[in-house]
């Protein structure tokens, strides 16, 4: 449709000059419209618009009578429909804002651009997303706030992105409207599964690199993910306004390390708004449009979902083929369930309802889905009566790297914990869990996570969003047990380990870890990794002052405080990225804790043989402080099989039976002491030591420190 020129008339109406109160009336009208009004002094501020006066009805609804009123009219030429908005070729920000208001209007498939933003943590990814939303008018200035797409309190407190978020923007480039679908992604290595899911729904990616810090470990990992998905990568150097910015050096790093052409690299500052229009122009020019497959049977890929207590499961999807309309009967191909699409819409970034979505578009679906198992991430949506022949490939299943037990403090909250985990799994597809029973903590779940930060975030979300009070056990990994009968068993819980007589060997998971660090911290970091049983593989200088160190080390050595130590020893300058490489046989032992001769399964751990004594000594000493004294002597022992390697003892609470013996023969005292000792012996034979909950909690914290 042809663009129609309109003018915007803004009338600040001064009610009382002494009180300085004013009202502003704004009207849009075409340049060919005619109107008139009477006012003493009038000033019209637009030379290029021709306006005649023949109608008196335009301002009648908003105008009041004032004897000494002053009306100043100002017309601004804008465009409507397909021409609304700003863009390349000298557009202004005010035009962008007008375009943002029309973002629900349809555009041809060739004018759709789906892109994601990828970067290392703290390289300004969320700030850039905020600025894109602001410049395109998607979010009004009065509603704008920092980290706009990070809508969880947890994300704002920590200053990190945890969940991918989608937003639809409208942008005009060379007088043609474009629909830009942005999917913002997390930057931390623990949330790489979120990144891979968002990239599968896009055709292009903005690679944001801090111009002062340069290429870091997660930058490399995210670029490789984008290349695997055959995405068009646009390189953006952010934070060029900082005094320490070195864009030339960082551009050279990108070319050498990533092999990307940096001749057209975009220099920007998301905070100051520098280079934002250049980024939008580059997205339109370089990112390919989705294929035109609107005529094919419907196939839409679910890339995210969440549970709404009023509307049920809300599904976020990207339409790959065909068209979906409000009221259609749709089917989820993996689960086989069908529902009516009560509501469909786009995310801009709030949910806005539309009547239909066609191939290439990104939107959401609400269909009163009450069962969380019916609509899983990676499933394919199709028409019920006109099914697609094949489902979409979906996503590779996330492999948990770190495990821990989650138990409710109040045993009555177990059903609530199960429901909360099921709902949270909708929103976090990398979370895995299965029921577990502990003699000390009752019923709970064994949960698998992608990393320690992921574990911490899930625990906090369960406590905040679902009002649960939880106990977490020490993080552990999955070990592989080779049995004498030839079977191979995977075991994540030490208490479930087969007996020593049935075990042939134990294998533990190894990871390949790459450290990027300034050269002055190389020695300190090599010492850290070798202390953690790391095997040195390679070291190379990526630039004159930065080195890449590659080690292979057991995952169990990383799930403790490895990352904290890395940042501490490098003063925050080093970064890391790791990937699973396989299982290797190691000298691992099961360390049992015995209290009064009885094994306490929740306190058992799997440790390397060289660390067993130190861990056993620390645990027994801590338990001696925490367990209350009994009427009999209580031995606390750490053992490997039948061999005790560390031992402490709680002395008995004893009555002073010699208090009444103020004199007399020594045999009288011996007789009383012997009688007391026999009583203590009988007590020990039938007595039972109750380990308080506080002791378990304190020991779990200790395990997290010493393991």
| CA angle at 502 for the pair 498 and 505, rounded to the nearest 5° | 85
Residue showing tokens 């002073």: 656
- The number of residues making up the chain comes to 707
Closest C-alpha among 303, 336, 111 to residue 194:
303
Q: Are strands 232-238 and 204-210 parallel, antiparallel or unpaired?
A: parallel
Q: Is 119 annotated as a binding residue?
A: yes
- 230 annotated to bind ligand: no
H/E/C letters for each residue in 404-430?
EEEEECCHHHHHHHHHHHHHHHHHCCC
Residue 185 marked as a ligand binder: yes
Residue 501 Cα to chain centre, angstroms? 43
Q: Does the annotation list 641 as a binding residue?
A: no
Which helix (H) or strand (E) covers residue 510, if one does?
strand 503-518
What does DSSP assign to residue 336?
Answer: -
Beta strands in 239-388, from DSSP E residues, in sequence order: 266-267, 299-308, 312-321, 323-325, 329-332, 338-340, 343-347, 351-354, 356-358, 362-369, 380-383
Q: Is the dihedral of CA 692, 693, 694, 699 positive or negative?
A: positive
Interior/surface letters 627-649, b for 16+ CB within 10 angstroms, e for the rest: beebebbbebbbbbeeeebbebe
DSSP state of 121: T
125 sits in which H/E element? helix 125-135
Q: Where are the alpha helices (DSSP H) in 361-494?
A: 414-427, 452-465
- Residue 123 assigned as binding residue: yes
Check if the beta carbon of residue 123 is closer than 8 Å to that of residue 223. no
Query: Per the structure block, which two tokens stand in for 567?
Result: 């940042």
Helix (H, G, I), strand (E, B) or coil at 576: strand
Quickly tell me which residue has 């005529």 as its tokens: 295
485 belongs to an annotated ligand binding site: no
Angle at 559 between CA 624 and CA 573, to 5 degrees: 120
14 is in an annotated binding site: no
Binding residue per annotation — 125? yes
Q: Is 241 annotated as a binding residue?
A: yes
640 annotated as a binding-site residue: no
What is the C-alpha R_g of the chain?
33
**Burial grade of 436 (CB within 10 A; 0-12, 13-18, 19 or more):** buried
Has 94 been labeled as part of a binding site?
no
**122 carries a ligand binding annotation:** yes
Number of Cα atoms under 13 Å in the Cβ half of residue 349: 22
**Distance of CA 305 to CAs 426, 428, 453, 492, 690, Å?**
6, 8, 21, 29, 45
Q: Is 282 annotated as a binding residue?
A: no
CA distances from 300 to 156, 428, 520 (A): 32, 20, 51
DSSP string, 532-567: TT-EEEEEEESSSSEEEEEEEEEGGGTSSSHHHHHH
Q: Which two tokens stand for residue 243?
A: 């005094």
- Alpha carbon distance 221, 634 (integer Å): 53
Nearest to 206 by CA among 268, 288, 119: 119
Q: What is the spatial distance between Cα 414 and Cα 367, in angstroms, rounded to a whole number?
A: 29
Annotated binding site for GTP: which residue ranges? 119-126, 184-188, 238-241
Annotated binding site: which residue ranges? 119-126, 184-188, 238-241
């Amino acid at each position: 449709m042809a663009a129609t020129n309109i003018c915007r008339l803004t009338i600040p109406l001064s009610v009382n000059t002494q009180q300085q109160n004013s009202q502003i009336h704004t009207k849009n009208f075409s340049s060919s419209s005619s109107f008139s009004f009477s006012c003493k002094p009038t000033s019209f501020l637009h030379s290029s618009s021709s306006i005649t006066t023949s109608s008196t009805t335009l301002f009648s609804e908003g105008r009041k009578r004032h004897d000494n009123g002053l009306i100043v009219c100002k017309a601004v030429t804008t465009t409507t429909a397909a021409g609304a908005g700003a863009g390349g070729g000298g557009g202004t920000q005010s035009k962008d804002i007008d375009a943002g208001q029309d973002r629900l209007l349809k555009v041809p498939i060739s004018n759709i651009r789906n892109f994601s933003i990828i970067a290392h943590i703290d390289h300004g990814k969320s700030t850039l997303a905020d600025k894109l939303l602001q410049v395109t008018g998607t979010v009004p200035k009065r509603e704008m706030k920092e980290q706009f797409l990070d809508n969880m309190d947890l994300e704002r407190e920590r200053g990190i992105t945890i969940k991918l978020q989608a937003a639809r923007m409208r942008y005009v480039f060379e007088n043609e409207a474009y629909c830009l679908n942005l999917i913002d992604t997390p930057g931390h290595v623990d949330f790489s599964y979120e990144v891979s899911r968002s990239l599968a729904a896009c055709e292009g990616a903005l690679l944001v690199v801090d111009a002062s810090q340069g290429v870091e470990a997660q930058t490399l990992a995210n670029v490789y993910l984008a290349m695997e998905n055959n995405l068009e990568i646009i390189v953006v150097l952010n934070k060029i306004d900082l005094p320490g910015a070195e864009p030339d050096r960082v551009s050279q790093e990108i070319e050498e390390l990533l092999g990307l052409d940096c001749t057209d690299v975009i220099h920007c500052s998301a905070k100051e708004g520098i280079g934002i229009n250049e980024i939008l122009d580059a997205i339109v020019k370089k990112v390919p449009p989705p294929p035109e497959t609107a005529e094919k049977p419907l196939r839409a890929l679910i890339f995210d979902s969440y549970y709404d207590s009023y509307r049920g499961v809300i599904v976020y999807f990207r339409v790959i083929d065909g068209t979906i309309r409000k009221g259609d009967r749709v089917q989820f191909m993996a689960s086989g369930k069908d529902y009516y699409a009560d509501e469909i819409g786009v995310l801009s970034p709030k949910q806005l309802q539309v009547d239909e979505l066609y191939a290439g578009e990104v939107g959401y679906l609400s269909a009163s889905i009450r069962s969380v198992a019916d609509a899983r991430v990676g499933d394919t949506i199709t028409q019920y009566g006109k099914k697609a022949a094949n489902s979409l490939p979906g996503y590779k299943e996330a492999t948990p790297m770190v495990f821990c037990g989650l138990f409710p403090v109040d045993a009555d909250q177990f059903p609530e914990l199960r429901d909360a985990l099921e709902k949270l799994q909708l929103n976090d597809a990398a979370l895995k869990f299965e029921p577990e029973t502990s003699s000390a903590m009752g019923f709970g779940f064994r949960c698998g996570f992608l990393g320690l930060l992921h574990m911490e975030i899930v625990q906090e979300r369960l406590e905040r969003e679902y009002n649960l009070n939880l106990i977490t056990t020490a993080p552990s990994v999955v070990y592989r047990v080779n049995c004498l009968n030839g079977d191979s068993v995977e075991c994540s819980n030490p208490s479930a380990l087969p007996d020593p007589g049935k075990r042939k060997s134990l294998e533990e998971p190894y990871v390949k870890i790459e450290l990027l660090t300034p050269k002055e911290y190389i020695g300190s970091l090599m010492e850290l990794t070798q202390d953690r049983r790391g095997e040195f593989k390679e070291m190379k200088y990526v630039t004159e002052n930065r080195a890449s160190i590659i080690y292979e080390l057991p995952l169990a050595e990383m799930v403790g405080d490895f990352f904290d130590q890395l940042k501490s020893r490098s003063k925050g300058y080093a970064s890391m990225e790791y990937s699973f490489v396989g299982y290797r046989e190691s000298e691992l032992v099961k360390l049992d804790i015995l209290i009064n001769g009885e094994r306490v399964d929740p306190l058992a751990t799997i440790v390397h043989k060289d660390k067993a004594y130190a861990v056993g000594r620390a645990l027994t000493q801590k338990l001696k402080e925490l367990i209350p004294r009994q009427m009999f002597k209580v031995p606390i022992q750490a053992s490997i099989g039948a061999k005790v390697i560390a031992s402490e003892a709680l002395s008995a609470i004893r009555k002073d039976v010699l208090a009444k013996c103020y004199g007399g023969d020594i045999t009288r005292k011996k007789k009383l002491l012997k009688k007391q000792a026999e009583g203590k012996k009988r007590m020990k034979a039938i007595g039972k030591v109750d380990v308080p909950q506080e002791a378990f909690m304190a020991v779990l914290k200790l395990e997290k420190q010493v393991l």
